[in-house]
Amino acid sequence: MPSRATGQALAALLLAGLALSGAAVADDAAPAPRAALTGPAGAPGLTVLYHEGDFGTVLDLDADQPATERTVATFALPDGIREDYFGLEYYGAIAVPAEGTYTFYTTSDDGSRLYIGETLVVQNDYPHGAAEQQGSISLKAGRHPIYVGYFDGVVDQVLEVRWSGPDTTKSAVPAEVLTQYPKVVHFPRDAVSTTELEWPDLGRHLTVTVDTRDAPELKAFHEVIPDVLRRHYPLMLSLLTAEGDTLPTQVTFSVRPGVDVPAYASGSRIVLSAEWFAGNPGDLGCLVHEFAHLVQSYPRSPDDAGWVVEGIADYVRYRVGADERWRIPDSYREGTHYTNGYGVTAAFLLYLERHYDAELVTKLNRALKSGTYRQALFEQYTGKPVDDLWEEYRQKSAGGVQATAPRRALPTPLARPLQADLSAAAGGEVWEGQTAAARCGRDTGRLARRPSAACPAAIS
């Protein structure tokens, strides 16, 4: 069992992380142009390392043993490589004709990253279809180390590298400006941690991998995330599982920049938005919501069940209470409907458990797991159609009836001091159910929506 001291240490770690990220953001002075390399230029061309494997990010390439190493003229997919599941690392030096700001562009399918020296200039990493990203850097005239890492998973493979500058319009980087030079880019290998969690009395174990290679400001998550699961997984199991269920034994949390929802679950991976969690490091309930999807792992849910799936995930989030600032509606809110999912549905489910069937969510969860869920089950379990139940909830709670049931007590005493510190760190903001819905990508909100990353699709 973690001690109270551990909780305070975690809070301190998180606060240290916040201070770090604050310092990084504040440093917005225009940097001096990067100094050029000295000494004689190397032979023409670039070195390219060819890797074979199922890489989810360019960051995986540095630690992998390449299959081949050769010299190529410029950035183009070389001959003799496979069509899927490979990676390439190009490195050398690029000669810029005059001092100034240069913009680099990569178009890639799947991910790519471009560095000048050890500075990340183009972040276009992670699995995706052909897409262009760009970035700029101020350079002195002369040669500068350049590195482009690229990987392809499946389907199409595309890599194009362009640049533009004071006297150069946007065009492919030509072979004439490229010469050989050693690789200077290496990725952190200590930013991926694996924690083995065990609950001997439950006969359960879980391997938790946390990857913050692209979010150094969130390194406290290597302790925070396993701690959230260590404390809350038993209650999640009691809410969502029965004897004989197949349960996740491994989960990877990847913190990535450029994810336009706060988090989503896909397979055994939970992808967290680096920007969201840098601003909201105490949003531990979001981790619970996403991990609930892994425990749910419903087979094929009917198309009209998405709201129940998301409602149950937020019901679990509420019952677990990992984040005390997060609230679900405590009464009907004008304009909401039970099919909204998330906190709105969670509050409705709590109302139904209080007034009709204390085991309602357990039963709905079992039906979803066994592929027998249908909306008529609400009537079977409560004696009333779901629309009638909602109308009743709407009218009663307009009269002040509270919908919420008491939360289960937190399993350890460390939650409160930790949460108090986290709340203070994030400005004491209180998140509510409606906002939480936006935060899973289903509704408009602070972050743009991306239906493909929405929770129901990701877990189906």
Task: Give the binding site for Ca ion (CB under 5 A).
Answer: 83-84, 109-110, 152, 155-157
Give me the least distance between CB of 146 and Ca ion, in Å please.
23
69 binds, among Zn ion, Ca ion, none (CB under 5 to 8 A by kind): none
From residue 100, give the alpha-carbon distance in Å to each of 133, 164, 165, 216. Answer: 20, 11, 7, 29
179 binds, among Ca ion, Zn ion, none (CB under 5 to 8 A by kind): none
Residues in the chain: 460
Query: Which token pair is 346?
Result: 């969670």
3-state secondary structure of 170: strand
455 binds, among Ca ion, Zn ion, none (CB under 5 to 8 A by kind): Zn ion
What Rg value do the Cα atoms of the chain yield, rounded? 25
Give me the least distance between CB of 245 and Zn ion, in Å please.
19
- Residue number, nearest CB to Zn ion: 455
241 binds, among Zn ion, Ca ion, none (CB under 5 to 8 A by kind): none
Give me the least distance between CB of 127 and Ca ion, in Å please.
7
109 binds, among Zn ion, Ca ion, none (CB under 5 to 8 A by kind): Ca ion
109 or 421, CB closer to Ca ion?
109
CA atoms within 13 A on the CB side of 98: 6
Residue identified by tokens 């240490």 is 9
Contacts of 255 (CB under 8 A, 6+ apart): 210, 211, 212, 214, 215, 218, 221, 272, 273, 274, 277
109 or 211, CB closer to Ca ion?
109
CA atoms within 13 A on the CB side of 264: 22
Give me the least distance between CB of 82 and Ca ion, in Å please.
8
Other C-beta atoms within 10 Å of 150: how many?
30
Give me the least distance between CB of 453 and Ca ion, in Å please.
17
Query: Which token pair is 255?
Result: 């913190």
157 binds, among Zn ion, Ca ion, none (CB under 5 to 8 A by kind): Ca ion
282 with 221: CB under 8 angstroms? no
Give me the least distance between CB of 153 and Ca ion, in Å please.
5
Strand bridging mode 269-273 / 46-52:
unpaired
153 or 329, CB closer to Zn ion?
329
104 or 151, CB closer to Ca ion?
151
225 or 313, CB closer to Zn ion?
313
Q: Which residues pair with 89 in a beta bridge?
A: 49, 149
Q: Counting Cβ atoms within 10 Å, is residue 186 exposed (0-12), middle (13-18) or buried (19+)?
A: exposed
Give me the least distance between CB of 83 and Ca ion, in Å please.
5
Name the DSSP letter for residue 44. Answer: B
84 binds, among Ca ion, Zn ion, none (CB under 5 to 8 A by kind): Ca ion
133 binds, among Ca ion, Zn ion, none (CB under 5 to 8 A by kind): none
Give me the least distance between CB of 226 and Zn ion, in Å please.
21
98 or 155, CB closer to Ca ion?
155
296 or 336, CB closer to Zn ion?
296
440 binds, among Ca ion, Zn ion, none (CB under 5 to 8 A by kind): Zn ion
Binding site residues, Zn ion, CB under 5 A: 310, 313, 440, 455
Give me the least distance between CB of 440 and Zn ion, in Å please.
4
What is the C-alpha to C-alpha distance for residues 10 and 213, in angstroms, rounded to an integer?
19
155 or 448, CB closer to Ca ion?
155
b/e string for 225-261 if b means 16 or more Cβ within 10 A?
bbbbbbbbbebbbebbbeeeeeeeeebbbbbbeebeb
126 or 373, CB closer to Ca ion?
126
First to last CA, the chain: 35
What is the C-alpha to C-alpha distance for residues 25 and 358, in angstroms, rounded to an integer?
48
From residue 372, give the alpha-carbon distance in Å to each of 20, 183, 369, 376. Answer: 50, 56, 8, 11
Phi, psi (deg, nearest 5) at residue 458 = -65, -30
**What is the identity of the amino acid at 57?**
T
209 binds, among Ca ion, Zn ion, none (CB under 5 to 8 A by kind): none
2 or 149, CB closer to Ca ion?
149
Give me the least distance between CB of 309 and Zn ion, in Å please.
7
